[in-house]
């Protein structure tokens, strides 16, 4: 029995405060939850607002984060960039057998965690789920759900292709994480398509890759055009880790499975603009002088989009199985609210509540789908009517 069922770390940041509000609205009344972070005065104010206790713990203070990990059954974290402040807390949770989830989309850091902490987390009974925000919960659970539908129809699970239509704004914390990743890893370090697999060196050769496509291409089945998607490198690799971890189980995606993901636009010219903007962003993030300018003129850590932008935002995910112009199966999910805050916080909080309720099915470094599977989808449904059709 720990002092708290759940601790929200990094609670005083932009997403952290939204997560605290979400918990205060949706946590079961009996849940013993608390907040933690580095700034005592902000924690005190937030703690009073939600009538919850707080713990002071700088992410780089190993004994302090150990106290957080020891005090809780589950920790969820919004304290990023995770590459900069995140590792001691995940390490402490893995060793204490404390379940943990966060908002990281920092591929290199997640890879590092898998290398260091998967065995110890398994041994101590901790379920660790990075990428529990907009990246990569909808993609990972969407593929898991569609794969189940295909399996039940008796068809084989082959190519699944994801298309996102999005509306929202950019957080300073997200920008800081992108800059941090570019400082620690080169694009070559992260290009391996199976980077997050249990053994990337083996799976490179014997797993299928998605078909090669033009940068911008027409998707007749959706009457749309597709462009490269900013979060695809993370989402695709998380989904592939899920496929690898499920291999040999009753949820096996099969040997013909592969996944790729794109941005969707109804207009070809807009799709070309999205593609060009992404190429420019990736180029700029790898030029130290330009990253300094991005940091200077972009939104700062602690800043994020207005309430109006957040509430009028949206996430639409469509997954097509087989030929994208004539798909055999299809899944459409709609999430109201902006991807980087409203949807992100909803996902993280439901992952945390599910872990705190003892619903995880695996230990070690997991993905949302391998750890919580259909139960997490149900929770997201229960939280709101999210699913349009499957």
Ligand X SMILES: NC(=O)c1ccc[n+]([C@@H]2O[C@H](COP(=O)([O-])OP(=O)(O)OC[C@H]3O[C@@H](n4cnc5c(N)ncnc54)[C@H](OP(=O)(O)O)[C@@H]3O)[C@@H](O)[C@H]2O)c1
Selected from 81, 162, 169, 313, the binder of ligand X by CB under 6 A is 81
CB closer to ligand X out of 8 and 244: 8
Q: How far is the CB of 60 from ligand X (least distance, A)?
A: 5
Residue 135 binding ligand X, by CB under 6 A? yes
- The residues with which 261 forms a beta bridge, in sequence order, are 162
Give yes or no for a contact between 39 and 47, defined as CB atoms under 8 angstroms apart: no
Total residues at interface with ligand X (CB under 6 A)? 34
Cα distances from 223 to residues 259, 272, 324, 334, in angstroms, run 21, 16, 11, 18
For residues 272-311, which are near ligand X according to CB under 6 A?
Answer: 301-302, 304
Selected from 15, 66, 161, 370, the binder of ligand X by CB under 6 A is 15
Residue 105 binding ligand X, by CB under 6 A? yes
Q: How far is the CB of 39 from ligand X (least distance, A)?
A: 3
Selected from 33, 111, 134, 335, the binder of ligand X by CB under 6 A is 134
Residue 42 binding ligand X, by CB under 6 A? yes
Give yes or no for a contact between 132 and 161, defined as CB atoms under 8 angstroms apart: no
- Provide φ and ψ at 43, rounded to 5°: -65, -40
Cα distances from 15 to residues 73, 276, 372, in angstroms, run 22, 29, 22
Selected from 4, 6, 8, 13, the binder of ligand X by CB under 6 A is 13
Tokens of 80: 């990023």
Residue 173 binding ligand X, by CB under 6 A? yes
Query: Which class for 133: exposed (0-12), middle (13-18), buried (19 or more C-beta within 10 A)?
Result: buried
Residue 108 binding ligand X, by CB under 6 A? no
CB closer to ligand X out of 177 and 377: 177
Residue 177 binding ligand X, by CB under 6 A? yes
Terminal-to-terminal C-alpha distance of the chain: 40
Q: What is the DSSP letter of 340?
A: I
Residue 47 binding ligand X, by CB under 6 A? no
CB closer to ligand X out of 148 and 316: 316
CB closer to ligand X out of 177 and 354: 177
Cα distances from 145 to residues 8, 48, 368, 375, in angstroms, run 28, 40, 12, 11
Selected from 168, 193, 327, 340, the binder of ligand X by CB under 6 A is 340
CB closer to ligand X out of 230 and 331: 230
Residue 14 binding ligand X, by CB under 6 A? yes
Residue 139 binding ligand X, by CB under 6 A? no
Q: Considering only the stretches 56-64, 213-221, 322-330, 362-370, report the one whose residues sit in contact with ligand X under the rule CB under 6 A.
A: 56-64
Residue 346 binding ligand X, by CB under 6 A? no
Residue 313 binding ligand X, by CB under 6 A? no
Handedness of CA 18, 84, 128, 47 (dihedral sign): negative
Give yes or no for a contact between 305 and 341, defined as CB atoms under 8 angstroms apart: yes
Residue 342 binding ligand X, by CB under 6 A? no
> Which of 91, 127, 134 has the alpha carbon at shortest distance from 109?
91
Q: Considering only the stretches 169-177, 212-220, 305-313, 355-363, report the one whose residues sit in contact with ligand X under the rule CB under 6 A.
A: 169-177
Give yes or no for a contact between 318 and 264, defined as CB atoms under 8 angstroms apart: yes
Cα distances from 32 to residues 2, 6, 219, in angstroms, run 10, 7, 48
Footprint of ligand X (CB under 6 A) = 10, 12-16, 37-39, 42, 58-60, 78-82, 85, 103, 105, 133-135, 171-174, 177, 301-302, 304, 340, 344
């Amino acid at each position: 029995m720990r002092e708290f069922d759940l601790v929200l770390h990094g609670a005083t940041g932009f997403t952290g405060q939204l997560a605290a509000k979400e918990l205060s609205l949706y946590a079961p009344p009996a849940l013993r939850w608390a907040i933690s972070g580095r700034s005592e005065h902000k924690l005190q104010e937030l703690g009073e607002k939600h009538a919850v206790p707080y713990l002071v713990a700088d992410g780089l203070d190993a004994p302090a984060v150990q106290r957080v990990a020891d005090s809780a059954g589950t920790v969820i974290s919004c304290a990023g960039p995770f590459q900069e402040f995140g590792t001691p807390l995940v390490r402490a949770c893995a060793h204490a057998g404390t379940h943990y989830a966060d908002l990281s989309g920092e591929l290199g850091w997640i890879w590092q965690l898998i290398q260091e902490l998967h065995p110890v987390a398994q041994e101590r009974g901790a379920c660790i789920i990075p990428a529990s925000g907009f990246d990569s919960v909808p993609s990972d659970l969407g593929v898991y759900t569609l794969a189940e539908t295909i399996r039940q129809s008796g068809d084989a699970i082959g190519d699944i292709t994801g298309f996102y239509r999005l509306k929202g704004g950019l957080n300073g914390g997200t920008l800081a994480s992108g800059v941090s990743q570019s400082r620690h890893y080169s694009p070559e370090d992260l290009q391996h398509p199976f980077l997050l697999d249990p053994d990337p060196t083996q799976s490179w050769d014997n797993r299928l890759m998605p078909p090669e496509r033009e940068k911008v291409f027409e998707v007749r089945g959706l009457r749309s055009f597709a462009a490269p998607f900013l979060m695809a490198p993370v989402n695709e690799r998380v989904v592939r880790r899920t496929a690898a971890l499920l291999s040999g189980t009753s949820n096996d995606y099969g040997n013909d499975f592969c996944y790729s993901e794109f941005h969707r636009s109804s207009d070809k010219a807009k799709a070309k603009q999205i593609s060009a903007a992404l190429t420019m962003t990736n180029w700029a993030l790898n030029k130290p002088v330009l990253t300094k300018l991005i940091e200077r003129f972009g939104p700062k850590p602690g800043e994020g989009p207005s309430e109006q932008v957040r509430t009028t935002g949206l996430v639409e995910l469509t997954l097509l199985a087989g030929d994208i112009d004539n798909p055999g199966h299809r899944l459409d999910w709609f999430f109201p609210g902006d991807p980087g805050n409203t949807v992100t916080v909803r996902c993280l909080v439901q992952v945390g509540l599910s872990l705190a309720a003892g619903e995880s099915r695996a230990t070690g470094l997991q993905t949302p789908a391998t750890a919580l599977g259909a139960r997490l989808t149900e929770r997201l449904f229960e939280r709101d009517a999210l699913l349009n059709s499957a």
